[in-house]
Amino acid sequence: MSDILNQALQAVMLGGLYAMYALGLAVSVGVLRFVNIAHGDMIVLISFLFLTFSHALGLPILIAAILMIPVGMGLGWLLQLGVFQRAASLGELQVILVSFGLSIVIQNSLLAGFGADPQRVLAGGLEAASIPLLPGVYLGVVPLMIFVAAILSIFLLDRLLHHTRLGIAIRAIADNLPAGRLNGLPVKRLQAAVMAIVGVTIAVAGTFMAIWTNFDPSIGPSRLLVAFEVVVLAGLGSYWGVLFAGILIAVAQTVGASIDSAFQILGGHLAFLALFVLRPNGLFPRT
């Protein structure tokens, strides 16, 4: 029984990490109306920057983690202003192609700079710490931090988009971009702000991923795939649905792994396909 409870807790906590992978993609798809193919590679890039700041430069883990927030924000802002907006002016296909090219550039740059060996950020034993809940049942401190961070990120994003003037303007251009332009909204700056928000979620996801799991320059596409499945299952515009969908995918992977370790990833994909057939608009579609 304790093994089952430990696996269930691990799956739920892993769902929090998947939600963090997907949250930024949900914002870029829902507001900017394009799938950033480089999303997973940007998460991996943050992980390597976090590794560099904490190990190579010798900064304390907490300081290095905090620094990733403005780094991610700046990265998103600059990419939107300097790359994605120019590509978007040429058409939707061009944006996807440019983001694909960016993905290749990030992967090869990381491979050249860090090599192909898996890396991990050591957090002074925090990554191995756990909290006893019941006899034989333990909850990891880092997974718990990730889950709490996912809930807090979604709450803050929801407050920002629905209870601030900036959020109202962002939702206006998301619902009707031409009307937003006609009403004099600074569309380019608002879109850059949206991508900066996406960059913050990427920074949080990449930082926690670096502590909890191994990473290497080639895993970006797999992170993108998980994020994409979570966003589709949640339903466009449903940010709390992202958390629920992330947990579902993680639980499905855990069930698959309990059958055979080779079925772990397949279990998540099969759950996605089954739920997508039943609910093609997502579990929590925006009405």
Q: What is the per-residue pLDDT for 287?
A: 55
Quick: pLDDT tens for 264-281: 888 889 999 998 888 888
Q: How far is CA 270 from CA 139, 274, 276, in A?
A: 27, 6, 10
Between CA 226 and CA 249 the distance in angstroms is: 8
Residues 196, 29, 150: CA angle, nearest 5 degrees: 65
Between CA 24 and CA 205 the distance in angstroms is: 9
The sign of the dihedral angle between the CA atoms of 174, 152, 213, 138 is negative
The tokens describing 70, both together, are: 């403005």
Q: Cβ contacts of residue 7 below 8 Å, gap of 6+?
A: 254, 258
Q: What is the per-residue pLDDT for 130?
A: 84
Average predicted confidence (pLDDT) for the chain: 90
**Inter-helix orientation angle 264-278/220-234, to 10°:** 30
The tokens describing 98, both together, are: 């440019």
- In the chain, the domains with their CATH numbers are 2-278 (1.10.3470)
Between CA 267 and CA 245 the distance in angstroms is: 14
Q: Are residues 154 and 23 in contact, defined by beta-carbon separation less than 8 angstroms?
A: yes
Residue 227: count of CB within 10 angstroms of its CB: 28
Residues of the chain with pLDDT under 70: 1, 286-287
* Greatest C-alpha distance within the chain: 63
What's the predicted TM-score (pTM) here? 0.94
